[in-house]
Every structure is written in C-alpha cells, then in structure tokens.
C-alpha cells in the first residue's frame, strides 16, 4: 500500500478496515457462466458500463497516511490491468464446472495478489475455454449484497435489452413477511418473545467470542485452517423436490429445507469419516450472515450511488449462530427439517443480527481494528461452518450481450467450512430446475 498523503483521500469505514486485518482478510469471488463463447472486447465494454466501475471504491487505491490509517485515493482505472483472459482449459480431463471450481480454489490462495498498491482491489478473470467470468473483489470494498447488485446493474434482461434486472424478494413476498395484525395480546406476546430470544442469543453470541467453542469433529476447522489449500464443491438440488419436502411440514420455507439438508449432510459426513468420533447430542454451530439493509434491490443501489446518507455503501450485515445437534436416532428424515424450522423460527424472533453488527461497530470504535478482527476471528474459530444466502436476479439476464447461465458467489479466508447459496426467484429457477450452492473445504 502506498504511503503518500493527499487532502482528497477518504478514510475507510470501520468495517472496511476490519477486512484488511490479517485475521479477517477476505475476498469475494463470483463465478458467472455464459451461454456463448466469451467476447473479451464486449465484456470489457460491459464492465466499463457497470455502476461499480465508476463507483469511488472501485476507482481508488488503498493507501496509508503517516499515522498508518488506511484511506481511499482516487486513481484512473486501466481496464486492461483488471480484465485477465485465461486461454486454454484450467485442467485437462475436468468438466467445465469442476474446472471453474478448481480455478476458484487456486485463485483463493492468491488473495495477497489482489492487495497491491498500484491498482484498485478488484479484477475479472475470463475463463475462455469454460465460458465463465470470475469476478474477484476484496471485502473491504463492500459486502456481497452491494457488490453483486452493483455488478448486475450492468446486466440487462434477455427479453428486454434495455431493462434492468430485479434483485431481491418480490413485493408479494415482502408483504407476506410483514403481515402481522391480530389482537393486542398477540402483539404483546411477540414483543416479549423478541426481548427474550434477543437476550438469550446475544449472551450466547458474546460467550462465543470469548471461550465457548464446538467440540472437535471431522469437519472442524480452527486457527490457521484458512491458510491450507482449498477445495470447492458444487451441490445442486431440484427445486421441485425441495417444494415437496417443504409441503410435508407446516409453514416450512425453502431455507428451512436447505438448512435441514445441511444438517443431514454434516452428520452423514461425520459418520462416514469417523463413525465413533462424535457423541449423541453433540452441538455443531454454524454462522449465518444476515443482510441488514431494509431494501435488497437495485432501487437501493441507485440511492447508494447518489450518496444518499440514509443508505450507506459498503459492508452492512450481522451474523447469527445456527446450532444443530448430532443425532443417529431420527428414524424420520423430516425430523431434521422440523428441528431446523423450530430453531430458525426462534432466530427470526430475535434481534441477534442487529446486535452483532452493533457489537462489532463498538469494538472497532473503542478497541480498534486489530482487537475487533481478533474477536470476529474467535467467533469463526469457535464454530464449525458458515452459511450465506444472497438474493440474485428474478429474471434471465445477459451481460455484454451474452446470456448468463449461472451465478455462484462465495468468499475465502475463513477458518472453517463455507457454504454459499445465491437465490433467484421461483420463475427463473423453475426453468433451471435446480438450486446450486458452493461449499469450501480444506
């Protein structure tokens, strides 16, 4: 990083500084599959037309002042330095999906290569042989929601080349979630539930930052694991199958079903690797990333790009703990879904995500970036896996005139298993017939 001072330099946000600490030095990866062979010149023009290309964060170098504090300094972006065509297959004998996963795993070990002081902290790799574009962006520039939204704002609909995509839940879904009503005593009960579950879960969250940790299992990570070579796998699930399972349990959601599947998968893997290593009832804890923005669409993005003070660009998310308990005694597979739904319902009634965000913000303010990063790192070391769910587009898209076939986003540099799902609407996914997600391992 440079060290020259400039009066126009802009200080990093507290969250941006957090992601520059070595314990939390995270990079976001987004693999975008294309239907047709890649046209390098067309994609360069499309990238230059993206809102992210003109946003100050993407046009700034990371520099330090004389006191050692990080700042953004505006610079001229040279597109040829950020777009890297990769000719030839990544590896012989692999399918396109496996080759892209291998490329992502190898690229994740080179995150320091993104941290030079001579260009902004992002680049795009074009895998010509696999018709895939890999976007690599440092987490200090923003969270997954703002970054993916800004990138997709440069895409257009297949059916209407002039129209922007719609990102986030539909209005009808938002309305169903916000429907409350009922008698006054039900409102009182809901408030009491929020207070109770918030207190319980926040206390547990604080203990996790100190000393409480999961027992060691075959899927455990820990300090230093993020430095090991990585393995990336893709899992697909039929949307129709998920809907059938969801309908078997009253008021269940697709997220409940997916978390139930994750629970079963972890338990089966543990049994396969070491049948007698884990006792009945052993707790395995996940960390879920929660977007705290009220709006999740491109309308919010346009306001952020205009500098609306009420809508801050960057990182705005909290985390919640998701416990599952190892069991061999469930004769009915739906019992995993019932347990997942019960736990998720309690989490939805709490303000744990908001408090985790505030706790991190206060730690940055009063204790500094180094201590705050150590506390965050402790949470990940004391848990077993993390899961993130990012809203994707609700329509079929093109980028640079090339139809998009899939979007997969993930991050690296966490000391445990990482699972990522990019959500689209039912109308789009039903044409694709499946949901896909990414999982990191070491």
CATH of the domain at 201: 3.30.559
| C-alpha span between 90 and 232 (Å, rounded) | 14
Task: Give catalytic residues, as residue numbers.
Answer: 139
Report the candidate in 136, 132, 105 with the shortest Cα–Cα distance to residue 232: 105
Q: pLDDT category, 4, cuts 50, 70, 90?
A: very low
Per the structure, the count of domains in the chain is 1
Q: What was the pLDDT predicted at 169?
A: 57
pLDDT tens readout for residues 86-130: 999 988 889 999 999 999 888 887 665 566 678 899 999 999 999
CA distances from 324 to 120, 229, 259, 286, 367 (A): 40, 27, 10, 8, 32
Element counts in the chain: helices (H) and strands (E): 15, 16
Asked if the structure places residue 369 within a domain, the reply is yes
In a domain, 439, yes or no: no
Alpha carbons 225 and 236: distance in angstroms, whole number: 26
The model's pTM: 0.85
Strand order, beta sheet including 27-34: 83-86, 122-127, 132-138, 27-34, 402-411, 397-399, 156-157
Indicate if the pLDDT at residue 428 is higher than 80.
Answer: no
Q: Which residues of 362-394 are buried (b: 16+ CB within 10 A; e: fewer)?
A: ebbeeeebeebbbbbbbbbbbbbbbbbbbbbbb
Q: Mean pLDDT over residues 320-334, rounded? A: 83
Angle between helices 254-273 and 239-247 (to 10 degrees): 100
Answer yes or no: is pLDDT of 29 > 80.
yes
Q: What is the mean pLDDT of the chain?
A: 81
HEC-encoded secondary structure of 29-52: EEEEEECCCCCHHHHHHHHHCCHH
Is 88 contained in some domain? no
Give the whole-angstrom CA distance, residue 231 versus residue 240. 29
Which one is predicted more confidently, 171 or 30?
30
Distance between CA atoms of 222 and 73, rounded to whole angstroms?
A: 36
Asked whether residue 224 is assigned to any structural domain, the reply reads yes
More confident residue, 293 or 292: 292
Does the pLDDT at position 143 exceed 70? yes
Beta-carbon contacts of 186 under 8 Å, excluding residues fewer than 6 positions away, are: none
What's the pLDDT score for residue 6? 52
| Domain interval for residue 260 | 174-295+304-388+415-432
Mean pLDDT in residue range 406-433: 60
134 within some domain: no
Q: Residue 100: which of 89, 111, 110, 84 has the closest Cα?
A: 89
Please list the alpha-helical segments (H only) found in 324-395. Answer: 334-348, 352-367, 369-381
In whole angstroms, give the CA distance from residue 14 to residue 279. Answer: 41
């Amino acid at each position: 990083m440079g060290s020259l001072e400039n009066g126009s330099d802009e200080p990093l946000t507290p969250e941006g500084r957090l992601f520059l600490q070595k314990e939390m030095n995270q990079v976001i990866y987004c693999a975008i599959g294309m239907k047709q062979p890649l046209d390098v010149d067309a994609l360069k023009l499309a990238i230059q037309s993206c809102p992210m290309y003109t946003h100050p964060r993407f046009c700034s170098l990371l520099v330090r002042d004389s006191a050692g504090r990080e700042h953004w300094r505006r610079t001229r972006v040279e597109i040829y330095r950020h777009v890297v065509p990769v000719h030839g297959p990544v590896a012989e004998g692999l399918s396109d999906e496996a080759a892209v996963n291998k490329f992502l795993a190898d690229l994740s070990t080179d995150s320091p290569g993104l941290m030079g002081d001579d260009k902004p902290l992002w680049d795009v790799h074009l895998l010509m042989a696999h018709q895939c574009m890999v976007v690599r962006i440092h987490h200090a520039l923003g969270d997954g929601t703002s970054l993916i939204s800004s990138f997709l704002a440069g895409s257009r609909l297949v059916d209407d080349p002039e129209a922007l995509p719609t990102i986030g839940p539909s209005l009808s879904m938002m309305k169903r979630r916000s429907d409350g009503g009922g008698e006054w005593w039900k409102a009182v009960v809901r408030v009491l539930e929020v207070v109770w579950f918030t207190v319980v879960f926040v206390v547990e969250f604080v203990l996790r930052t100190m000393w409480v940790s999961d027992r060691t299992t075959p899927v455990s990570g820990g300090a230093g694991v993020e430095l090991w070579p990585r393995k990336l796998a893709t899992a697909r699930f039929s949307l129709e199958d998920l809907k059938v399972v969801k309908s078997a349990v009253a008021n269940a959601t697709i997220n409940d079903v997916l978390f139930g599947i994750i629970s079963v998968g972890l338990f089966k893997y543990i049994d396969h690797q070491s049948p007698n290593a884990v006792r009945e009832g052993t707790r395995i804890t996940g960390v879920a990333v929660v977007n705290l923005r009220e709006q999740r669409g491109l309308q919010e993005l346009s306001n952020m790009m205009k500098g609306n003070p009420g809508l801050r660009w960057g990182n705005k998310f909290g985390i919640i703990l998701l416990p599952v308990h190892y069991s061999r005694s469930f004769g009915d597979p739906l019992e995993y879904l019932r347990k997942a739904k019960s736990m998720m319902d309690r989490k939805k009634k709490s303000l744990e995500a908001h408090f985790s965000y505030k706790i991190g913000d206060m730690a940055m303010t009063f204790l500094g970036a180094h201590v705050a990063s150590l506390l965050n790192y402790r949470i990940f070391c004391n848990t077993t896996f993390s899961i993130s769910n990012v809203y994707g587009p609700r329509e079929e898209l093109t980028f640079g005139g090339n139809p998009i076939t899939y979007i997969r986003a993930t991050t690296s540099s966490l000391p445990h298993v990482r699972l990522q799902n990019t959500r689209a609407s039912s109308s789009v996914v039903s044409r694709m017939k499946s949901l896909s997600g990414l999982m990191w391992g070491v």
